[in-house]
């Protein structure tokens, strides 16, 4: 058995994490974890790294944005009506959304933006287009960025977009960061 695999097994046991729980967190089956630990399966390096990363997170080390982000990202267009956006936010229990046009982030819309439009326009607000009231785009980060850095951004912005290359792969809100405190 490779020393790295033996180290992962020792670390898992030291942290009191069952094979089943580790498998769930890594996104593989429990029998696969058992086969890896017994030396009956030679995993890809990427899987070994993922297992190691999950164990570090459990140990209280670095938690990455990819762990807490929501994906796929729900978004709206600048041409959408506030009525449609308000209905979407209510149905999905979302407080903020990125505004995307032709695959590019062009702004953001929040509950506050919608409430402000209602104050200013009354019942006519439902016909206003997102592009007329949207705010600046949310900041972007890499999936490997630490939740600590994300948390600092969230002190200034309602959400942070997770981008890999040119693709938006997730979104992180304050609610998502709070879940890191309450997870088992």
CATH number of the 67-182 domain: 3.10.580.10
Residue 183 reports pLDDT greater than 60: no
According to DSSP, the residues that pair with 172 across neighbouring strands are 160
Which pTM does this prediction carry? Answer: 0.66
Give the domain ranges of the chain: 3-61, 67-182
Which has the closest alpha carbon to 144: 178, 176, 107, 170? 170
Residue 159 reports pLDDT greater than 90: yes
Residue 184 reports pLDDT greater than 70: no
* Range in 24-33, 56-65, 116-125 with the lowest mean pLDDT: 56-65
Calculate what percentage of the chain has a pLDDT beyond 90: 52
In the chain the beta strands, taken as DSSP E runs, fall at 96-101, 104-110, 140-141, 159-164, 167-173
Q: Which CATH class is domain 3-61?
A: mainly alpha
User: What is the mean pLDDT of the segment spanning 49-56?
Assistant: 81
Residue 164 reports pLDDT greater than 50: yes
Q: What is the Cβ-side half-sphere exposure of residue 125, based on CA atoms within 13 angstroms?
A: 17
Which has the closest alpha carbon to 98: 171, 180, 11, 35? 171
User: What is the mean pLDDT of the segment spanning 83-96?
Assistant: 96
User: What's the chain's average pLDDT?
Assistant: 88
> How distant, in Å, are the alpha carbons of 2, 3, 13, 37, 171 from that of 7?
9, 6, 10, 10, 33
Confidence of residue 115 (pLDDT cuts 50, 70, 90): very high
Q: How many residues does the chain have?
A: 184
Calculate what percentage of the chain has a pLDDT beyond 70: 94
């Amino acid at each position: 058995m490779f020393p790295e695999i033996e180290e992962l097994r020792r670390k898992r046991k030291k942290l009191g994490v069952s094979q089943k729980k580790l498998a769930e967190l890594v996104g593989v089956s429990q029998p696969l974890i058992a086969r890896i630990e017994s030396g009956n399966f030679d995993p890809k390096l990427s899987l070994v790294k993922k297992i190691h990363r999950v164990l570090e997170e459990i140990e209280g080390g670095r938690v990455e944005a990819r762990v807490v982000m929501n994906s796929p990202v729900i978004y709206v267009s600048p041409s959408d009506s506030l009525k449609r956006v308000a209905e979407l936010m209510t149905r999905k229990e979302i407080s903020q959304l990125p505004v995307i046009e032709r695959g590019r982030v062009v702004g953001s819309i929040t509950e506050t933006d919608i409430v402000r439009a209602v104050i200013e326009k009354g019942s006519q607000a439902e016909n206003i287009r997102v592009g007329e009231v949207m705010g600046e785009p949310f900041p972007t980060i890499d999936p490997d960025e630490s939740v600590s850095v994300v948390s600092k951004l969230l002190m200034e912005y309602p959400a942070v977009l997770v981008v890999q290359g040119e693709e938006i792969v997730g979104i992180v809100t304050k609610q998502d960061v709070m879940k890191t405190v309450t997870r088992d």
